[in-house]
Amino acid sequence: MFFGSGITTTEESVLMLLFASAHHLIPYMRQFDVPLFYRSPIIASVKQARRIMDPRKKDLSPSVLDFGPIRFKIGRHFGFCYGVENAIEIAYRALEEHPGKAADQRIFLLSEMIHNPHVNNDLQARGIRFLRTTTGEQLIPFDALHPDDLVIIPAFGATLEVQAELAARGIDTRTYDTTCPFVKKVWRRSEQLGRKDYTIVVHGKRYHEETQATFSHAKEASPVVVVRNLEEAHDLAAVIRGTADAASFYEHFADRYSHGFDPDRDLQRIGVVNQTTMLATETQAIADLLQQAMRDRYGEANLAAHFADTSDTLCYATHENQQATQALIADGADLAIVVGGYNSSNTSHLVELCEAVMPTYFIKGAEEMVSPTRIRHFDYPTQTLHETDDWLPAKRPVDVLINAGASCPDALLDDVICTLVGWFPDARSTEDALAPFAEVEAG
């Protein structure tokens, strides 16, 4: 059997229900027109076999690609999600529909479309220029834009303030808006809650582009506060319970609340949404903690009037990838390689899960694997590059867990696999390793 050990995972019932309902948000089986060079013969074969064997995506056990002296364990879910494929399709369509503008470099992206350097570098090579960095530094002044310029909104969305600035210059930001549908769903839910006098608590990284956009949209309808993690949620819960005062709130959440936020007034009714790339289980833990704080303050009988159920806003793709990663980890491996952009939030969380139990290397591509004895890899918490020697174990066979973020092209995983296999002269051929998957595809 070329699949893994048939691991089953359990989640809280609310998480199971929300992802079942999430699939009705969009035409999930839609096929996007993504450039062929982002596809891959190896990973594509594995994914297609799994789709045939498990069309309802219930089996989270990993696939095993056996080359003899080295074996790769591949997750059930990883790589381009719906939102990323949608964004890539729109961006390349803009280039195709306006070749003259691309040649004149009059097609712009507000910032990186997704957090993957290979995708962004290719778009730049084709004539697209970035107006801003991911941290908001202006690269090209908005005043330099003309009304007939094309501006593509990235998958993370844009703040209302930026949209207004572009509109004031006559720029159309709707035709090529690649904002992820699940991000927009968070915005809509926040607006609905705001109309019912709920305050929005955003689980996210305050200066990540998506959280900035969500903050901007949500504050139009309600007060907003951003919490980074469970530790900060405990600080917020103390204010809700009344064991910490307003001064404590302003100290702990400086620059993370909307203008005029009054904790005594604005923490009486709340709903929790998230930056879609955060750990879904952490978002749920934060929501549970704040719900309990409301229960402690107002009583079970009054809970519904103070805490809104927002579990349906969590991104199905982020959760599926994280579930599949947990199944990979449970199946065991000698080391993990996680491929993705170094500024990718969702990829960093996959790294976080893996490195808790095994040696893990976060790389942007196969070029970082210098040799069987040296690898360059990224440490997300410190934002620094490291080099590690003797990283590939000498044992045979060596089991390598392969994973990737939602913005990583499958082709990059093919490169990683081929590079590693090339270091084993006695390895089976790719055709032989893929034979079990090809048999499934052949029916």
Please compute Rg for the chain using Cα positions.
Answer: 23
Distance of CA 271 to the CA centre of its chain: 22
Residue 232 falls in the annotated catalytic set? no
Specify the 3-state DSSP secondary structure of 51.
Answer: helix
What is the residue-wise DSSP string for 402-433?
A: EEE-TT--HHHHHHHHHHHHTT-TTPPPHHHH
Which residue in the list 210, 231, 300, 387 is annotated as catalytic? 210
- Please choose, from the candidates 77, 70, 66, 57, the residue with its C-alpha nearest in 3D space to the C-alpha of residue 436: 66
Phi and psi dihedrals of 78, rounded to 5?
-175, 170
Q: How far is residue 332's CA from residue 336's CA, in Å, rounded to a whole number?
A: 10
Coil, helix or strand at residue 334? coil
Cα 411 to Cα 43: distance, rounded to the nearest angstrom: 8
Could you identify the residue written with the tokens 């209302």? Answer: 160
> How far apart are alpha carbons 42 and 54 in whole angstroms?
18
CB 94 within 8 A of CB 107: yes
Tokens representing 202 are 């955003």
Q: Which residues are catalytic?
A: 210
